[in-house]
């Protein structure tokens, strides 16, 4: 078997550090993890694909072993990172799979670099404007008023509290960007996989993504959560393989 395991340093080339496995000359699959996760989160998926594909699991800026640059990033910067990484690996065209925050990056990449993204797979992807924004606006007002008095205000989300330094600023940039307009511009279609019991990116977002992306197909795993691909690994693998293998 012709296995090629490669670990690339991230900082030098302005790209992601990646775990690359699988056959060298096979079609590439780029895996983009969610917020707070890393390349390792795709273990079983990468393993199932490496027999037939070149699997590139990235650690995106600020996660895993790729450091975060000393400035606040936007989703655009992450999409550029995907492109740089692909260039460095001589990947011209690839299947891009994004989970959660990785889904935002994948959508952005598909719009910004349509030549790179041959097929798109979104798993419990973020990026759409969540419901209940009015309440959130009210909450931020309260936060601002409180901050005046006790200098701390309300607590942020779990991700926000866990982040530090520039990553915190990046998170603010990222969650405040809504990608409805971009999703509508995607031309390559998409396979959308979702957990029916997802509490972070709820299932209504899955249906909205399906409506927005032309030629997309949706599968909802009834009893799965936000990490639906880990709850229903075998089924996910079968669906992914059927989607990217048929050509």
Partner 1 sequence: MINCLLFYGLDSPEHDVSVVTATEIMRNAPSRGIRLIPVYGKHGRWFTGEELAEITSYAPFDEKRFAEVVVSGKTLYKLKRGKAKAWIKADCALIACHGGAGENGALQGFLDVNGIPYCSSGVFASAMGMNKAAAKTLLSAKNVPVTKWKLIKASEKESALAGLKENDFPLIFKANNGGSSLGIAIAETAAEAAAALESAFKFGDEVICESYLTGACDLNVAVLTTNGKMTLSEPEIPFKSGKILSFADKYTLKENADDLPESAVSDSDKAEAVRLAAIVAEALGTEGAVRIDFLACKEGVFFNEINTVPGSLAAYLFKEYSFTDYLRLLIESAAEKKEAATKRYADTGLLKLKPKGVRRR
The residue behind tokens 């795993």 is: 221
Q: Which two tokens stand for residue 61?
A: 């800026």
Q: Which is nearer to partner 1, 1 or 181 (CB)?
A: 1
CA pair distance 155, 162, nearest whole angstrom: 11
By the rule CB under 8 A, 190 interacts with partner 1: no
Report the distance separating Cα 20 and Cα 69, nearest Å: 23
Stretch that binds partner 1, among 98-106, 169-177, 196-204, 234-242 (CB under 8 A): 234-242
Minimum distance of partner 1 from residue 128's CB (angstroms): 25
Per rule CB under 8 A, is residue 5 in the interface with partner 1? no
Q: Pairing state of beta strands 94-99 and 28-32? A: parallel
105 binds partner 1 (CB under 8 A): no
User: Total number of residues binding partner 1 (CB under 8 A)?
Assistant: 17
Which of 12, 115, 181, 234 touches partner 1 (CB under 8 A)?
Answer: 234
* Whole-angstrom distance, CA of residue 47 vs CA of residue 68: 27
Contact segment (CB under 8 A) with partner 1 among 33-41, 46-54, 55-63, 178-186 equals: 46-54
**Token duo for residue 234:** 């075998």
Closest CA relative to residue 100, chosen from 7, 162, 219, 193: 193
Which residue among 168, 197, 214, 219 contacts partner 1 (CB under 8 A)? Answer: 219
Question: Counting contacts by CB under 8 A, is residue 118 touching partner 1?
Answer: no
Is 176 strand, coil or helix?
coil
Residue 29 C-beta: closest distance to partner 1, Å: 11
Is residue 52 close enough to count as binding partner 1 by CB under 8 A? yes
Strand order across the beta sheet in which 28-32 lies: 6-7, 17-22, 54-59, 28-32, 94-99, 117-123, 190-195, 216-221
* 241 near partner 1 (CB under 8 A): yes
Q: Which tokens go with 101?
A: 């925050």
Looking at 15, 37, 41, 48, which residue binds partner 1 (CB under 8 A)?
48
Residue of 88, 169, 188, 237 interacting with partner 1 (CB under 8 A): 237
Instruction: Give the three-class secondary structure for 167.
Output: helix
- Using CB under 8 A as the binding rule, whether residue 30 contacts partner 1 is answered as no
* Look-up of token digits 């096979």: 26
Judged by the rule CB under 8 A, the positions of this chain that interact with partner 1 are: 1, 27, 48, 51-52, 219, 232, 234-235, 237-239, 241-242, 244-246
């Amino acid at each position: 078997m012709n296995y090629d395991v490669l670990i690339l340093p991230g900082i030098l080339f302005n790209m992601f550090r990646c775990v690359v496995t699988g056959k060298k000359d096979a079609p590439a699959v780029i895996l983009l993890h969610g917020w707070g996760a890393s390349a390792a989160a795709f273990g079983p998926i990468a393993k199932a694909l490496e027999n037939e594909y070149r699997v590139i699991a990235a650690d995106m800026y600020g996660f895993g072993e790729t450091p975060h640059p000393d400035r606040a990033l936007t989703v655009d910067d992450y999409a550029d990172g995907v492109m740089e990484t692909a260039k460095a690996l001589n990947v011209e065209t690839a299947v891009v799979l994004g989970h959660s925050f990785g889904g935002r990056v994948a959508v952005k990449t598909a719009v910004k670099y349509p030549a790179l993204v041959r097929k798109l797979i979104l798993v419990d992807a973020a990026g759409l404007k969540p419901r209940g924004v009015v309440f959130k606006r009210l909450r931020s007002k309260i936060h601002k008023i409180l901050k005046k008095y006790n200098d701390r205000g309300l607590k942020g989300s779990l991700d926000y509290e866990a982040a530090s330094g520039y990553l915190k600023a990046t998170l603010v940039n990222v969650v405040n960007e809504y990608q409805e307009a971009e999703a509508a511009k995607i031309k390559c279609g998409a396979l959308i996989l979702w957990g029916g019991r997802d509490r972070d990116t709820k299932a209504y977002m899955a249906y909205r993504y399906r409506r927005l992306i032309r030629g997309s197909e949706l599968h909802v795993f009834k009893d799965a959560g936000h990490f639906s691909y880990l709850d229903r690994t075998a089924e996910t693998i079968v669906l992914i393989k059927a989607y990217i293998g048929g050509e």
